[in-house]
Homo-oligomer: A and B are copies of this chain.
């Protein structure tokens, strides 16, 4: 599973300030620590107003690329910011994200072919947040019709089933899991990605709820997660889940992580 490190997100106060202050050391430290912890992609979100976002996102891209060879995940809904950042990425990035909203489909999809490694697609559209599995499937069909028309192969489309916080919607996780299972049967090549921590919003000891959901989502075929690679609890459970799911041959990664002291738990 691809680990997309979530920590360089300008909507978080300290990160946003670092973007405004051009505090490259702060950003690079976050990039390095996530890379060392096992991230496969580094998400970059400027979180600034649309007018200055292109410039800020380009700065983030260059700042992060100066310290890691990991590919990036360009986190913006702003086509101008995405287009500017795509000019500077050293390796094909993921684009985070489109949805079934017409403006995003129209303006962002043309940026993907030949330039991005893939695009994350959230299952919501201009009618708002989806209500259940059927609503999500309807949006997914629409998105995949459009990505295919844009020449993007299904294996570059990372569907985000939009998991709701279980604290406020009791079946929020189950709806996402069922959506994944249903779509996988219909689109065998499509990928799935989640914003992992959404499921635990409003609850204490969120890492435990994130871990339980991650395990179930992996069982249903999760391909990527936007998550905190510095959360040792989640990272350990990811390794354990892959062992249980028979995806870690001879348990090599699990035992290797143990031997190098990476199966510890947060205190």
Question: Which residues of A (163-181) have their CB < 8 Å from a CB of B?
Answer: 166-167, 170-174
Say yes or no: B216 contacts A246, CB within 8 Å: no
A263–B265 alpha-carbon span in the complex (Å)? 13
Residue from B204, B213, B219, B255 in contact with A203 in the complex, judged by beta carbons closer than 8 Å: B255
- In angstroms, Cα B166 to Cα A240, docked, is 11
Copy tally for this chain in the complex stands at 2
Which residues of B sit under 8 angstroms from A203, Cβ to Cβ? 243, 251, 254-255
Flag whether A205 is at the interface (Cβ < 8 A).
yes
Flag whether A150 is at the interface (Cβ < 8 A).
no
Which DSSP category, helix, strand, loop or mixed, fits chain A's interface? helix
Q: Say yes or no for A244: interface residue by CB 8 A criterion.
A: yes
A-B contact pairs, 19 of them (CB 8 A): A166-B243, A166-B246, A170-B246, A172-B246, A174-B245, A199-B244, A203-B254, A204-B258, A204-B263, A205-B258, A208-B236, A208-B237, A211-B211, A211-B237, A212-B240, A215-B216, A233-B265, A265-B267, A267-B267
The interface bits of chain A over 190-228 (1 if a CB of B lies within 8 angstroms of the residue's CB, else 0) are 000000000100011100110111011001000000000
Task: Enumerate chain A interface residues (CB-CB to B < 8 A).
Answer: 166-167, 170-174, 199, 203-205, 208-209, 211-213, 215-216, 219, 233, 236-237, 239-241, 243-246, 249-251, 254-255, 258, 263, 265-267
